[in-house]
Structure 1
């Protein structure tokens, strides 16, 4: 039994064969592939049959389309297909793995196990719809505590994707993926929980390719207002449940970042503003809390 399950929550066929081909090209094939079809209009069975003798595949067609309402729930039900594998990668149907991802995972696994780390991530590079490289390679510190990772991701403008991570099944079983609208930051929240604010182990000797195409929710200028609102949903959950776990020097910058998501629309519930005031007061002091009140007042006058 392999230790690694590669789970593909399938819906789009456009780049699916390239995704499967990247698995065939792995230098270490000690993994099993689980594909869950979210009632896609594009039937992938002939393509899966083509690769069945090259990959160890379990395929399941789900007659109900969950992704339109809760994409993380489709991730969860596809993960539920796996057997006794101890580690999981959720690979998007349009992303690709470099040929040494699985090999490097196993090569580093003993070190990860000794350190009792739950979350691994790989170096990444972005590609477009035609497979052209459109970004530099993003590498990470070998060991990084989650507070530093989160700070780099949001406050310093880093990037992250679902496919670049491998996580321990026991951590997943404890938390699962939570439902966020459009699955916006659902993976970021999962890494926060799966890591238990411990260390994340980075493998920079293999690449995961994140595809940014016309079909991605992440594509620029798509649903910008909605994504801003959903980002606020994510940050409110982080602030209410976890802000005390971050390093002291990271707490107020994260609170301030979340606060800025509220502008220019200040016509929000009083409780939201009072929560932000109390958080600012607690983690930054009375002077910053007074400045926060002034910002809210000035923004409300601008938008009257």
Structure 2
């Protein structure tokens, strides 16, 4: 069975989330709601949906998401029982009626062959009221290729549209980045365990962008950029072998760009990059790196 984990904090859009779960045409799932000491407990709303689908509600006495969102995800996961597959659904996102049914329909195709499954998505822009066209994905794709397409602006990705095996989560865990920014990107590379991500394009997860969501907020850009720098460095250090040569060189450039959004690279950062440009040597890229390095250090 599938466990749908909801780290709950905001009430404003939560009924749409619950209604989408109650409307699933296949009820072979169980929901675990972890209330992060919210000032808006959803008890009255949950009473309304009692009996419409199987759920467990637990209120944590101390707020954790304010300091570590990934640790809040993880303690919500501990609420789940013996389900082997997990989805972490945002409390402002929602599913079309066939998400669970399509997951079971495709189960025999991806089980044992993939540890990460994703659904097609549409973006709900709360400010404009518009819903995007569907983002469809390759049926099977390396996790590194998927992230690289996102990096190049060719697709999008966020937490709610993914289902992952509990075994892979227990083995790897989430990277505890501030705001959980890029924690999901890193998870899919880690959790996939060199197996392809399997995509289900016939069902849609609706991902909401609003002023109350981390993605929609504009007052945390410095924090996000600092996390991006660390995330890219982690990929370069720990996952470089998983990327194609051209992709790795692009990651090195993106690491530079992320730092340059706020300041110049220091000598230590330039020297960090050098062994990778040598190991994944491409003459043009290496010469351009040397030129940027010399200009930056010696102000040529």
Instruction: Tell me whether 1:108 sits opposite 2:86 in the alignment.
Output: no
Change (3 A) 1:88 1:292: same
Aligned length: 300
- The corresponding residue for 2:179 is 182
What aligned pairs does 1:41-190 form with structure 2 within 5 A after superposition? 41-113=39-111, 116-129=113-126, 132-190=129-187
Q: Residue in 2 aligned with 1:27?
A: 25
1:213, 1:90 → 2: CA distance?
19
Question: Which one is further off, 248-257 or 165-174?
Answer: 248-257
1:295 and 2:289 matched: no
How far off is 1:129 after superposition?
Answer: 2.5
In structure 1, what is the equivalent of residue 194 of structure 2? 197
The 1-side partners of 2:195 and 2:11 are apart by: 37
Taking structure 1 as the reference length, the TM-score comes to 0.93
Unaligned 5+ runs, structure 2: none
Distance 1:242 1:300 in 2: 28
The alpha-carbon deviation at position 21 of structure 1 amounts to: 0.4
Q: Unmatched 5+ residue regions in structure 1?
A: none
1:52 deviates by 1.9
Q: Matched residues in 2 for 1:153 and 1:59: separation?
A: 34
State the distance in 1 between where 2:269 and 2:28 align: 49
Is this contact kept in 2: 1:98–1:206, CA < 8 A? yes
Task: Indicate conservation of the 8 Å contact 2:256/2:265, yes or no.
Answer: no
| More divergent stretch after superposition (288-297 vs 180-189) | 288-297
Task: Name the CA distance, whole Å, in 1 between partners of 2:241 and 2:267.
Answer: 23
For the Cα contact (< 8 Å) 1:11–1:39, is it kept in 2? Answer: yes
CA contact (8 A) 1:266 1:299 kept: no
Deviation at 1:224, TM superposition (A): 2.1
2 CA distance for matches of 1:117 and 1:149? 14
The corresponding residue for 1:277 is 274
Normalised by the length of structure 2, the TM-score is: 0.94
Q: Check the 8 A contact 1:155/1:257 in 2, yes or no.
A: no
Alpha-carbon offset, residue 297 of structure 1: 4.2
